[in-house]
Amino acid sequence: MNFSSPSDYRALFDLNGRVALVVGGGSGIGQAGGEALAAMGATVIVADVAGASAQSVAEHIRGAGGDADAITMDVRDGAQVERGVEDSVRRHGRLDVLLVTPAVNLRKRFLDYTDEEFDRVVDLNLKGTFRVARACARVMVEQKRGSMILMSSIRSVNVEPGQSIYAATKAGIAQMAKGLAVELGPHGVRVNALAPGIVATPLTQPIMANASWNEAYAQHTALGRWAHAGEMAGPIVFLASDASSYLTGTTLFADAGWTAMDGRYEPTLSA
């Protein structure tokens, strides 16, 4: 793209003609991301383990004037992931954007974790992201174009008791984005990670239901509040679009200053 005129700058976020696969698009951040990508002109394939939820989001996008369809996809099933990506490309002819969000967090102390629980978290969060990224990378390398958005977290750098295994998967995803960016960059494919802070989604509902926990988290942000899922839509569109054409291998923190703070204590300072 030629960025020499104002008209080009206004087109930076235009996704008309692009096809986006949103895995985990049936709820939460994935749903907000899918709806935003569609609003910017992309054809969106909403994929979710809950097929009815994916269908509902796709219908909502179409009702708002967007273009979307839905598929059922369980990222723990490698064969299903491969089929889903292949069928989507066969139907739409291309794949320009990937957003992959599925994750689970078992908040348990490290010494209480079982092998089975460890495997469950790692298989869904880290290996599931790997399965989807691998299938989409094959398509994007062939096209010589694409943008992948993997879902990391503030927990990739900032951990509390009970978050060790979840945090390890999110740190792994951030590193995976770096590695994929290096390997796929020569083929015109960009790979970045988005690291949200505290966002009101079904995954965080148990925390929000606890008044003291909910408030403690809110006060650990510079803005003093939780994010709505829709507040992740802007960063997602940015990473998907030509507005981020020179960004790859990075993790974008959308955390209201959580990782910039080391506590809420404000000492008295001399003038």
38 in Cβ contact with 114 (< 8 Å):
no
Among 166, 217, 246, 265, the active-site one is 166
166 catalytic residue (yes or no):
yes
d(CA 35, CA 46): 9
Q: Which of 27, 58, 41, 54 is nearest to 97 (CA)?
A: 41
β-sheet bridge partners, residue 20:
44, 97
d(CA 210, CA 203): 14
The torsion of the CA quartet 57, 141, 86, 45, rounded to 10 degrees, works out to: 10
d(CA 75, CA 168): 18
Instruction: Say how many residues make up the chain.
Output: 271
* Axis-axis angle for helices 128-143, 78-92 (nearest 10): 30
Measured CA to CA in angstroms, residue 35 lies from 20, 29, 53, 185 at distances of: 11, 10, 13, 27
Tokens of 193: 């990670």
Q: What number of CA atoms fall less than 13 Å from residue 1's CA on the CB side?
A: 17
Task: Compute the Cα dihedral for 17, 50, 208, 128 and give only its sign.
Answer: negative
157 in Cβ contact with 175 (< 8 Å):
no
Query: Residue 226: CB partners within 8 Å, gap ≥ 6?
Result: 198, 199, 200, 204, 208, 214, 217, 218
Catalytic residues: 166
